[in-house]
Amino acid sequence: PEREGMLFHRGPGLNLTSGQYTAPIAGYYAFSTTLHIVRGEPQRKGQGCRGSRLRVLICVQSRCQHNSNLETVSRLESSGDLFTISVTGTLYLQAGQYASVFVDNMAGSPLTVQSGSYFSAVLLGV
């Protein structure tokens, strides 16, 4: 990092603009993300009661509905609170394939991802 509070990244695979990690070579990669999230008030009355769950996924090629993803689901208890949700696991990527983080908000209220959240990928082996 060049200054305090700046994100650390190394290697050509991470694109901070798109939020994608592109595999430079085929292999097994360890992925991890931790999101610090604040849940706002429901937009409409009664909306926050149904489906107050949040899914966070790390998907290959944006194909979250296929089996090439990592996923966790969390129940949201109350609005206005800061909470943390994490996903960690191993995925195989071909050279040139990318992985990225998706948030599926089933809570019905706005969510804000806070600073200090991160996404990482490490090549384990080919």
Residues 2-29 pLDDT 10s: 455 555 556 678 777 777 899 999 999 9
Average pLDDT over residues 65-85: 78
H/E stretch holding 53 reads: strand 53-60
Helix spans in 46-117 (H)? none
Give ∠ CA 81-62-14 in degrees, rounded to 5: 80
In this predicted model, which residue has the larger pLDDT, 85 or 106?
A: 85
Domain range list for the chain? 16-41+50-125
Say whether domain 16-41+50-125 belongs to CATH 2.60.120.40: yes
pTM over 0.85: no
